[in-house]
Amino acid sequence: MSKLRNTLQNDRSARVPAPNRALLDRRGAETLSVASACVQSALLSASLRLGGLSCVALIAFSCGLSSIALRAEDETPAEPTVAVEPVLDAEPAIEHVHEGAAETPIGDDDREHWAFRQLSRPVLADVADGAWCRNGVDRFVLAKLEERELRPTPQADRVTLVRRLSFDVTGLPPSPSEVAAFLADEAPDAYERLVDRLLASPAHGERMAQYWLDLARFAETDGFEHDLVRKNAWRYRDWVIDALGADMPYDRFVALQLAGDEMESDDERAAIATGFCVAGPDMPDINSQQERRHNVLNDVASTVGSVFLALQVGCAQCHDHKYDPISQRDFYRLRACFESAVKFEKNKPNDMMRVLDKPMTTHVAVRGDFRRRGAIAPPAVPRIADLWQTSLPTPGAKTEKNPRVAFADWLARPDHPLTWRVIANRLWQQHFGVGLSQTPSDFGIMGDEPEHLELLDLLAVELPQRGGSLKSLRRLLVTSATYRQASRLSTPGWTVAERTSASEAWTKATEADAANRLWWKYPRRRLDGESLRDAMLSVAGVLSTRRGGQGIMQPLPDEVTRSLLANQWKVDRDEENHYRRSIYLFARRNLRDPLFEVFDRPDANASCPVRNRSTTAPQALELFNSKFALDVARRMAGRVLSDDEFASVAQSSKGNLTKAISFAFELTLSRSPTSDEIASGVEFVSIQASTLGKNDAHGPLATPVPLPATFSRQESAAFVDFCLVLMNGSEFLYLD
């Protein structure tokens, strides 16, 4: 871009001699290849939101930038030329370019970066208050706190812990009976047994799969202008759910997603696992299948690098990485591992990897331009991440393993410094809201160095020694004293002395570490869109337990579906499917459920390691005014007011309303209401019922489903509003 800027700023009176124009044209194209790609991507994305422009028109616009720049510096108008229509069915000519620059070698100083060092088990830290520690995690956390004369926050109350655990491990709220059972269990290992039960739940795999699908940029459509459906994409989603639910060892989980079709050629599900590689956006109808191939394989290499190695190798598609020791040749050598495993046919999507009959050769794309082929790039692992002088076989070589399998084996080594640090950091992020490194897909020079590097190394060493069991490491995390800390000072059950002591420690810790990098408290955080929707359905008693299968198209507002092409959103006829868990809803790249849209669900056009967490007015509007929110509130009110406790009562009473309010609190907030909250609830329902009675003639009331016999229509409708209020409270939306 600097060359373009200089070109535009040159004296326009300096004519370009004719013999040099061809050279300048070529250099301009080189300079603008990256810029054109960025413009194309941005404009395509914008066109999708604005109704869709022709991809050909957009590419023609961006590719014309170099010509505009060149004309700008010529003071005389160019001679008129005859417009030539593009030949849409022809592939662009390929130019072979000789590259003279040598590749920068990896030096010892490059490997001094924290993420590239060899893994070794750190010595457990010495602490003064050893009684607070429940496992090795706590010793490292407490040691850092004691260094700065800080103290951890006391343990949260049991109601908070059971709700925190349930959402964290299953993505669902605990039922009132589950809360009551835990509170009544006075055994010393009651908490640990609760953890084990939740980890064994089928809901655990469904919850944890969503984190992985964010990383895999999973959707069930291609994206771009036509956003066509991928009929078999859901099989990869189900594979992830089943694999995580069954606690598949992480090394195997990784390897199957990269080379399952080759490792277990007789197992269809192993081939389905490779859907990870081709889950990103694609344009099967693009005129140049060479360009399609280039874009898809670059996306595969970039995603593999960021998800498994936390290296932004994609930054080296067009030039050497500006900060990390990753060359452009490193990038294309990594891409070469996958080059012979994706078949491209026009108008046909790819749903898994397949070994091609004829091996493909990978060339460095000069300046990222697929039309300009540089040196051959044989399959190889990124040099900075390789401590063992690993060599991979070339495509088509008569060896026991092909490059993908060999690469997967290299990545799954039990002593790999990046593989295990990256996943250990992601597990911490999933249970604490923020990773030990706050850039979970970038462990490079510009990434965040962990404050607790020794703790990260402990987890990274522990995981392969535990057989790669993710559930085992999760158990270690959630049973720690660090995880059990309170998230705020208004914790019930503390004595006056505990509250006073905690308040003093809290004030000091806030001044010293406002960002909570030392983990002196549990980080309070808001539920994501999927957990929020699932929680609303759960408390309403309508959440379906059906699992697996094709993505469900649920009812959406007309103003949303009108933005799609004809027949792109066919609502499922089976109403129960509309109430299935969010992970089973159809994931369209160019359209998201309004609830997910306002609560920051990623668009699946790129791997998403950390979701944005915004606070906006549309969130409140969606939760208060949407058809979905009202439907759930009506069904929750019907569940509460139709409870057996009220069935034998001939008419409503204040006592019945009090019991109904208590039950509603137990469902939504997992606790009993205070006397003040009951009084406020009774007052709200009474005033609202009176107001609705006056306005009843102006239209139908939103009454509970089913309509209870023991409450008047006005009282029932007022209770629907009360349920809606509860589901809009911060205590419901946030996890303490």
Residue among 579, 602, 545 nearest 705 (CA): 579
pLDDT of residue 394: 86
Domain spans, the chain: 2-86, 249-411, 625-735
C-alpha distance from residue 598 to each of 535, 612, 623 (Å) = 17, 11, 10
pLDDT of residue 94: 84
Q: Are 347 and 222 within 8 A, CB to CB?
A: no
Encoded tokens for 492: 């019930």
Q: In this predicted model, what pLDDT tens digit does every residue of 355-398 receive, in sequence order?
A: 898 899 999 999 999 999 999 999 999 999 999 999 999 877 77
Task: Name which residue leads in pLDDT, 6 or 561.
Answer: 561
Q: Where are the beta strands (DSSP E) in 390-466?
A: none
pLDDT average, residue stretch 524-531: 97
pLDDT of residue 52: 36
Task: Name which residue leads in pLDDT, 623 or 16.
Answer: 623
Q: In this predicted model, what pLDDT tens digit does every residue of 679-695 receive, in sequence order?
A: 999 999 999 999 998 87
pLDDT average, residue stretch 706-723: 92
C-alpha distance from residue 123 to each of 126, 136, 454 (Å) = 9, 10, 9
Beta carbons within 10 angstroms of residue 354's beta carbon = 16
- Rounded Cα–Cα distance for residues 146 and 132 (Å): 12
pLDDT average, residue stretch 330-353: 94
pLDDT of residue 646: 56
Q: In this predicted model, what pLDDT tens digit does every residue of 466-496 receive, in sequence order?
A: 999 999 999 999 999 999 999 998 777 788 8
pLDDT of residue 278: 96
List the alpha helices (DSSP H) in 10-72: 18-49, 55-63, 65-72
Encoded tokens for 206: 């469904």
pLDDT of residue 709: 82
Question: What percentage of the chain reaches a pLDDT higher than 70?
Answer: 85
DSSP secondary structure letter of residue 5: H
